[in-house]
Structures are given as C-alpha cells and as structure tokens.
C-alpha cells in the first residue's frame, strides 16, 4: 500500500482522513470540516500536513480549511467548479484531472448532484477512493444541487473502479443506509450479511469505513439502479437506470 490512512471523526458523524504517502512521507488531509481534531491527530502521529483535498463546498467538509492551512502552510486542492467557492483554494481541479502526490496519483472523478461540482479522488496505486458525500457505504449523497440525471453518470464511473478499492466516505451513515436498503432489497443475502457486520461494528462504536467497492456494487441500491432484476421488483422493468435511481433516492429521502 502506498498510503497509510487515518480516520479522524469530527462533528456528529463526519470523517476527515489523513493519508501519509509512504515513499515520500508527504501527508494529505481530506475534507477538514474542523481543524483542531485534525491538527491534534496529526501531531500525535508526527505527521506534517502538506496538502488538503476537498470534495465539495459544504461547511462540514471545508470549515476547518483556513485554520488548517494557516497552521500547516498546506496547499488546498479542490473543485473550482463547485457552486460556492472553496475557502483558501490554491489549485482548482475537475473531472479527468490527476493529482500527483509522492509516488501516488489521484484521479479526479466528478460525481455531481449532491453539489453541482462535487469531485471524488481515487488513489490509483493504493486503490483508495475518497468519495466525500457522493458515495456512502450502501448509500449516496442527497441531490441538493442536481437530479438523478446528474448523479447517475458519476455513480457509473465509480462502479468502473476495481472491486478491491476501499471507499473512504464523508459520513458514518452506514447503519441507516443499510436499514433503508434492506427495506427495498429484502432478499439480498450479501446485504443481510453486511447488516450483521455493521451492527457489530457500530455497537462497539467502530467506523464502518473503509467500505469495499466490490461489495458495494452488490449491495448499494444506488449503484444497482440498472440491475434488471432489482428494478423489476419495484415495477421499473425496462426503464433507464436513471429513472429507477430517482425512485430509490426519493424513497431514501422519506425513509
Ligand atoms: Zn455535503
Ligand atoms: Fe457532508
């Protein structure tokens, strides 16, 4: 593995990530919604934050950027194309760009709809995906600034990533997501097995991240909106994936 990744829980259910690239020793931070807990953890580890990666403009992902940047001198990389400016942004990136970080290369993948310019970062060597609020374990982000038509192409791009990929998402929403998924996909045996693991982890207050993308492809309803058998169970046979995705998202919004 080229990255050593530390989870820093902040606020009520957000995750910030610190990642150390093991060849260069460079350290990055993903979506610091607060600065103090991130600085404290980095100090404990003896890690100097060099780069801050941002997925989207929401406060719970960027509110710590200015303080963290002032304290560390880190370079802030994020979506210049989001609907609101990213504080302290030094380098604007967009879908299809790459970001070199020591021996690692991050591919920038746009997944729009939660915000209009939301991006995710895929570490090609380590096969770690920082998915922000676009993809959660067994869930996806609410469509605050878009529709299913905006989100679906992005989810398809994420689905093309290798099964071994680990998903580091922006929130610990897994238990609620699993409850919703079970309600619409009751005979999915792998989902039930995962529900047991999630319940066990959460009862110990352990994070459910990183999620495994290969498993997500089988149990995350939002990644399966074009599965004909799944669609048929909900009366969406023969419909486009995007149409069924809108139905699933509406169901989750009122769950
Ligand atoms: Zn958000
Ligand atoms: Fe968020």
pTM above 0.85? yes
Parallel/antiparallel/unpaired status of strands 91-93 and 3-10: unpaired
Among the bound ligands, the one closest to the CA of 115: 1
192 is catalytic: no
Q: Give the angle 246-249-253 at the CA atoms, nearest 5°.
A: 135
Q: Among this protein's residues, is 60 annotated catalytic?
A: yes
Length of the chain: 255
pLDDT digits (tens, 9 = 90+) for 127-170: 999 999 999 999 999 999 999 999 999 999 999 999 999 999 99
Tokens standing for residue 202:
């959460």
147 SS3 class: coil
Helix 241-253 to helix 148-159 angle (10° resolution) is 110
**What is the distance in A from the centroid of ligand 2 to the CA of 1?**
27
Report residues near ion ligand 2: CB below 5 Å: 60, 133, 170
Known catalytic residue at 247: no
The domain ranges of the chain are 3-253
57 is catalytic: no
| CA pseudo-torsion sign 57, 59, 60, 62 | positive
Q: Which CATH class is domain 3-253?
A: alpha beta
Which tokens hold the place of 57? 């403009």
pLDDT tens string 40-96: 999 999 999 999 999 999 999 999 999 999 999 999 999 999 999 999 999 999 999
Known catalytic residue at 61:
yes
Positive/negative CA dihedral, 212, 218, 219, 220: positive
pLDDT tens-digit profile of 197-222? 999 999 999 999 999 999 999 999 99
Kindly state the DSSP code that residue 169 receives in the 8-state scheme.
Answer: E
Average pLDDT taken over every residue of the chain: 98
The per-residue pLDDT for 202 is: 98
């Amino acid at each position: 593995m080229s990255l050593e990744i530390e989870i820093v829980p902040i606020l009520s259910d957000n995750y910030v990530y610190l990642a150390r690239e093991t060849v260069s020793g460079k350290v990055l931070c993903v979506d610091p919604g607060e600065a103090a807990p991130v600085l404290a953890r980095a100090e404990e580890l003896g890690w100097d934050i060099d780069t801050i990666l941002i997925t989207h403009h929401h406060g719970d992902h960027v509110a710590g950027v200015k303080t963290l940047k002032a304290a560390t001198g880190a370079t802030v990389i994020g979506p210049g194309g989001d609907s609101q400016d990213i504080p302290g942004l030094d380098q604007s990136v967009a879908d299809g760009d790459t970001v070199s970080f020591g021996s690692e290369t991050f591919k920038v993948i746009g997944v729009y709809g939660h915000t209009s310019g939301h991006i995710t970062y895929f570490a090609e060597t380590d096969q770690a995906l920082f998915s922000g609020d676009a993809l959660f374990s067994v869930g996806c982000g609410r469509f605050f600034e878009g529709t299913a038509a905006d989100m679906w192409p992005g989810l398809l791009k994420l689905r093309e990533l290798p099964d071994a990929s680990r998903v580091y998402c922006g929130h610990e929403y897994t238990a609620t997501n699993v409850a919703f998924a079970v309600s619409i996909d009751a005979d999915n045996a792998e989902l039930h097995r995962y529900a047991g693991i999630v319940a066990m982890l959460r009862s110990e207050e352990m994070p459910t991240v990183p999620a495994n993308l290969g498993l997500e492809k089988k149990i995350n309803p939002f990644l399966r909106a074009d599965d004909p058998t799944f669609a048929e169970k909900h009366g969406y046979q023969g419909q486009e994936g995007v149409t069924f995705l809108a139905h699933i998202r509406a169901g989750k919004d009122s769950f």
